[in-house]
């Protein structure tokens, strides 16, 4: 250990030793940077993926009539059951919320499909006790 300490001390004190030490440090920093760069491009990092859910299609006339018949307009009192989910509709709401959305509105995209209730008209949704979302006006 004393021999190594003596060699390092002598080489740092001389100009040639300082140059060699500087080159050695530059090589180590370069190799470390190269290694970190290789790690950052590894294929194990899949990143974030975005998946789009297909929106429900608009109803045909026969399906629209059956959907109108299945929607219950009973959200006037807090203890009454909320309307059942219809097959199709131009407007939808959450069975847990108080706002309704149009099919193309981005505000309702976070609602789970099993919680959605569909309406054919704005009047139907408002009669059931829902109000239009501010993001869909």
Residue 130: exposure state from Cβ atoms within 10 A (0-12, 13-18, ≥19): buried
Q: Output the pTM of the full model.
A: 0.37
Q: Which DSSP string do the residues of 94-109 spell out, in sequence order?
A: ETTSSEEEETT-GGGT
Q: So where are the chain's domains?
A: 2-40, 61-136
Tell me the C-alpha distance between 31 and 28, whole Å: 5
Q: What's the rounded mean pLDDT across residues 31-56? A: 74
Would you state the pLDDT for residue 30? 93
The answer to whether the beta carbons of residues 61 and 88 sit under 8 Å apart is no
Which pLDDT band, with edges at 50, 70 and 90, does 56 fall under? low
């Amino acid at each position: 250990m004393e021999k190594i300490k003596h060699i390092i001390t002598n080489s740092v004190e001389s100009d040639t030793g300082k140059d060699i030490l500087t080159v050695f440090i530059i090589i180590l920093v370069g190799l470390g940077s190269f290694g970190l760069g290789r790690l950052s491009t590894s294929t194990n990092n899949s990143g974030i993926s975005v998946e789009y859910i297909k929106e429900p299609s608009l109803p045909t006339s026969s399906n629209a009539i059956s959907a109108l018949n299945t929607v219950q307009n009973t959200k006037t009192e807090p203890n009454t059951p909320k309307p059942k989910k219809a097959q199709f509709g131009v407007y939808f709401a959450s069975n847990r919320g108080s706002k309704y959305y149009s099919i193309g509105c981005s505000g309702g995209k976070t609602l789970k499909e099993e919680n959605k209730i569909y309406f054919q008209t704005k009047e139907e949704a408002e009669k059931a006790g829902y109000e239009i979302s501010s993001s869909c006006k």
